[in-house]
Structure 1
Amino acid sequence: MRIKNSLNNIIFNLGSTFITYILSFVSRSIFIYTLGAQYLGVNGLFSNILMMLSLAELGIGTAINFSLYKPIAQKDNNKISTLMTFYRKAYSLIGCIVAVFGFILMFFLHYIIKDANTIENLRTIYLLYLFSTVSGYFLSYKTTLVSAYQKDYTLVPINVAMSAITILGQIVILMTTKSFIYYLFVQIIFGFIQRIIINNVITKQYKYIDFKTKEKLPKSELNVIIKNVKAMFYHKIGDYCVNGTDNIVISTFVGIKAVGFYSNYTLLITTVNAIIMIIFNSTSASFGDLIAKEKPEKRLEKFRVLNFLGFWFFGFATICFYNLLNPFITLWIGNKYILDLSIIIPVIINYYLLGMRVPLGIVKSSGGVYAQDRFVPLIQAVVNLFFSIILVKYIGLAGVFWGTVISAFVPMIYRPYVVYKYIFETSCKKYLIQYTQYLLVVVVNIFVTSTLCKMLFLNAGWVNLIGRGFVCVVIPNLLIVVLFRKSYEFKQLISIVKENKGGFRSGKKG
């Protein structure tokens, strides 16, 4: 059943992501031509600022999600109801806190944005973003229950339909009014409607769950959640400082337009990453079930396959980004939006390093291992901000991203140690050796593919872009198959694919 639900989530989410991002690219193209890079920068900056406010969430969502695995497996509906009621109350309080601090922060925007005076209606735009964020805390908490049941695919039709309506509405607004504020109004209105619909659907789908039960969590269980939340808060702060401050640093030291230029690259990277993460996120609840039922040796076997899959997917994406990002941007919106390769290199290095931590993160989160490395994200955050702020002054935009790369070495060493010690109960030495091997394969692939692309497809144009894409698809995957075809991980991966071929259609259990 674990594999069946994972397959359902993957197939439905892949389809929805493809449709949504195709429409998003059309919308982004029209956005650029009607409003320009400055408002793109505003969008990216406010997303980072509101991510900072979301630190008030403290990691409660992750802690509750972990706490739901056991009662769901035991079909303990009373316990599930108690947890979800606690979650609802906690998120309502968090929503109020975010609203208050978000409003106060509005008066300090001119300190964060270097060229704030050039942006019309800045505070109005910010308040619209804030409202959109705050409303989510009051209406979106029930989706955690669906994820814990591994039934995310049941919400896909609603998400796709509402996303399509929203994006099409925004396109019409941009073409007729060229107003960023009206553009945001469309996003907020339809986003609000989407949350209400999903909220009602979940309530009907899980009639046996009382989201407003008067039962309270036992003190012992509440203490466990609080302990995990405290640990998760360190992780939240660290993750934000590493992944959510780049646009703020760029806006403060370089300018809001630079944020807009960079946001085009992040759109492409996050689009590809969203597709990859569908596969990995769909395994999260399955791993939670696996950890609850299986011995450490069995957990490690499954993880090795997941880690190999991570190397293959994230390594392949990294190779493609190196060779295809600038040619695609040139053809899409013009060479005036191009960033130098010296800036792109640290961006894609960080993407690979972050991607290779995903399998570890899934296992760590599924196993509820939060407290053991709670200070590591804070160390990484300090390293990241220190080097990013220092380097941006000397080498400009690239310095922000090199600071992030340098900080990535902190969890790269410690996270495997924690996961292997507390979940697999063995040494992580073999993992680190394998990690180095995977990295070398990616570096060799980048060298080979970039050399071939420069030799064969030097000029701009769609034909040359397709040619570059063909090289990036064939060479890396061929080399990976040749090098790893006899490995345990590759054989297991092929075995899983064969066993579950047609599993979605026939409903095979795994």
Structure 2
Amino acid sequence: MRGKQALKNMVASLLLQVIVLLSGLILPRFILEAYGSSVNGMITSVNQFLTYLGLAEAGVGTATVVALYTPLALNQTEEVNSILSASRKFYNKSGMLFLALTLVLVGVYPFFISGQLENSLVRWMILVLAGSTLVDYFFLGKYRVLLTANQEGYVVALIQAAGTIVNMVVSIFLIYIGAGVLFVKAVATGVYMLRLVLVKIYAKRKYPALDFHAEPNEGALKQKNAALLHQVVGIIVNNTDTTVLTICLGAKSLLEVSVYGIYMMVVNAVNQLMTSFSNGLTAGFGEVIAKNEEETLKKSYSSYEYMYFVIMFIVIACMGVLILPFVGVYTINLTDVQYVRPVLGILFTLIVFMQNVRIPGLTIICAAGHYKETRCQAILEAVINITVSLGLVWKFGMAGVLFGTVCSYGYRSFEIVFYTSRHLVKGCAKKSMFRILRNVLIVALLCIVGTYVIPKNMASFITWFLYAIGMGAVSVFTIVGVNYVVEPDEFKELVLRVKGIVNRKEK
């Protein structure tokens, strides 16, 4: 049953990420051509500032998911309702705080980009883009955490996938007929709001005993503050780049943020793809940890890490070679700023590596709820990011900011590997580091050869796609082959696990 749910979550999450990937690649291109780099940079920048304001969520979602693992596993309905009731109260308070902070942003943000765009457009865009987050706080969040904790995140993922498709089609149509960018984004927010209806209907039917107004058990969310700290750090580390560029680069800030946004579009697509292989597993590992099944945890984690690293390094090898040609084709008709920059291609590829090498260990840390225990390391990660970025931005511009991100990710990712080995999956660090080292060497070789074979300038996405298929095939053959030769038993065990999950009948 646990394996079936994990597979459902993984497949649904993968489908969602593929759809989000396509939408994230297609829509910005239409926005760039229709409204220009400054508008695209403004949308990117505003979204990052709203992410900062999302700290108002105060760790409620993460803490609620962790708190629900045990009562759901033991079928304790009253305890589940009391936790969800407490979660609803915190979400409502968070929504009010987020709304207040958004209004402050409406007042001050236009001064950061003075003279680059009309102030009224910027202010209304902030309100429109904030709408989806407000819906999440006041309506959707409490249902999402329940489904996630009960290994039914695939329901939310499928509904969101359908909404993303509708949003993309409608937005492209509106841009095609000449609608204003503000109206296009308002429609996108409206489509997001429709998700609430479908998720609520499913949750009400699946859980008839659901009661969000039961006596709240606020003590069950004791990890809320520790989870908040990790969210603060995550938001700082993931969004410092855009904020520093917006504030520090003056009159050309929106153009630089637009360049940053195009590369981050690729990075986010890759990260979303990789996240689909971990999202559906956290709840399953949480159940294993709650039941103290140590041997099951050790074996499952090894297979998961092996699979994840193979997929991750295939993706990184392809990204390292293909990101610059992709950006070149994507921005082929745009001349208001230089988009193709080799140094940025290298730095963004390193960022993806540093972000994702931590995911297996981070999945176990989240499943175990070890937020308080890892807060000092998280704070240090943020300090490294901010210090290095601010120290280098004035001299090296965007490259200096990205280097700060690489440094902070590098420290934290490898610290997570060793923390997991010391406290959760005893003794796994040696195997993990060996897997990382061998795959890094393979990827380095593939990238060196690939940059000489694949041309940097291409005329169309068809040409790029054909080279991408070739690069992907070579990467899969090489990385899978080497990992099979070095760890044949792990490979066979992984294949058996997948076959067992697919063939096992629901009990």
Q: Please confirm whether the aligned pair reaches a TM-score higher than 0.5, indicating the same fold.
A: yes
Structure 2 residue 14 is matched with structure 1 residue 18: no
Once the two structures are TM-superposed, the CA of residue 91 in structure 1 deviates from its matched residue by 0.4
Looking at structure 1, the residues matched to 477 and 106 of structure 2 have their Cα atoms a distance apart, in angstroms, of 52
Structure 2: how far apart are the matches of 1:239 and 1:207? 36
Worse overlay, 420-429 or 338-347: 420-429
For residue 87 of structure 1, what is the amino acid of its counterpart? S
CA separation of 1:107 and 1:402: change in aligned 2, threshold 3 A = same
Q: Distance in 2 between matches of 1:412 and 1:19?
A: 28
Shift of 1:301: 2.5
Aligned partner of 2:276 in structure 1 is 278
Please tell me whether the aligned partners of residues 24 and 167 of structure 1 are also in contact (alpha carbons under 8 angstroms): no
For 1:475 and 1:448, the matched residues in 2 are separated by 11
SS at match of 2:298: helix
Structure 1 residue 334 displacement after superposition: 0.8
**Does the 8 A contact of 1:84 with 1:211 survive in 2?**
yes
Output the TM-score relative to the length of structure 2. 0.91
Alignment of 1:74-473 (within 5 A): 74-113=74-113, 116-117=116-117, 121-141=121-141, 142-213=143-214, 215-217=215-217, 222-223=218-219, 225-226=221-222, 228-254=223-249, 255-334=253-332, 336=334, 338-426=339-427, 428-453=429-454, 460-462=459-461, 464-473=463-472
Deviations for 1:180-218, whole angstroms, at most 9, x for unmatched residues?
A: 1111220222222222332233122211222221x232x
Q: Conserved in 2, the CA contact under 8 Å of 1:139 and 1:196?
A: no
Secondary structure of 1:166's counterpart equals helix
Once structures 1 and 2 are overlaid, which stretch shifts more, 270-279 or 107-116?
Answer: 107-116
Q: For 2:169, what is the secondary structure of its paired residue? A: helix
Higher deviation after alignment, 258-267 or 152-161? 152-161
Query: How big is the alpha-carbon RMSD for the aligned residues of Structure 1 and Structure 2?
Result: 2.5
- How far the C-alpha of 1:49 sits from its partner, in A, is 0.6
More moved, 199-208 vs 84-93 = 199-208
CA drift of 1:90 comes to 0.7
Q: Write the mapping of 1:40-51 to structure 2, written as runs, cut at 5 A.
A: 40-51=40-51
Q: Distance in 2 between matches of 1:206 and 1:422?
A: 35
> Displacement, 1:394?
0.9
Residue equivalent to 2:484:
485
Q: What does residue 69 of structure 2 align with?
A: 69
Runs of 4+ in 1 over 6 A off after TM superposition: none
Distance in 2 (alpha carbons) for counterparts of 1:259 and 1:494: 46
Q: Could you tell which deviates more after superposition, 398-407 or 286-295?
A: 286-295
Counterparts of 1:21 and 1:279 in 2: how far apart (Å)? 15
Which amino acid in 2 is paired with 1:241?
A: I
Q: Give the direction of change, closer, same or farther, for the CA distance of 1:181–1:450 in structure 2 (3 Å limit).
A: same
Query: Are 1:57 and 1:91, in contact at CA under 8 Å, matched by a contact in 2?
Result: yes
Following superposition of structure 1 onto structure 2, how do residues 22-61 of structure 1 map, counting pairs within 5 Å?
A: 22-61=22-61
Deviation, 1:122, is 1.2
- 1:68-113 CA distance string (max 9 Å, x none): 1111111111111111111111100110111112212322214433
Decide whether the 8 Å contact of 2:328 with 2:457 is kept in 1. no
Q: Which amino acid aligns with 1:334?
A: I
Unaligned runs of 5+ in 1: none
Deviation larger for 169-178 or 109-118: 109-118
Letter in 2 for 1:269: V
Inter-CA distance 453–161: structure 2 relative to 1 (3 Å threshold):
closer
Number of equivalent positions:
500
| Distance in 2 of aligned mates of 1:459 and 1:160 | 31
| Amino acid paired to 2:193 | F
Q: Check the 8 A contact 1:6/1:283 in 2, yes or no.
A: yes
Deviates more, 1:385-394 or 1:193-202: 193-202
Distance 2:47 2:239 in 1: 8
Alpha-carbon offset, residue 452 of structure 1: 3.1
For normalisation by structure 1, the TM-score amounts to: 0.90
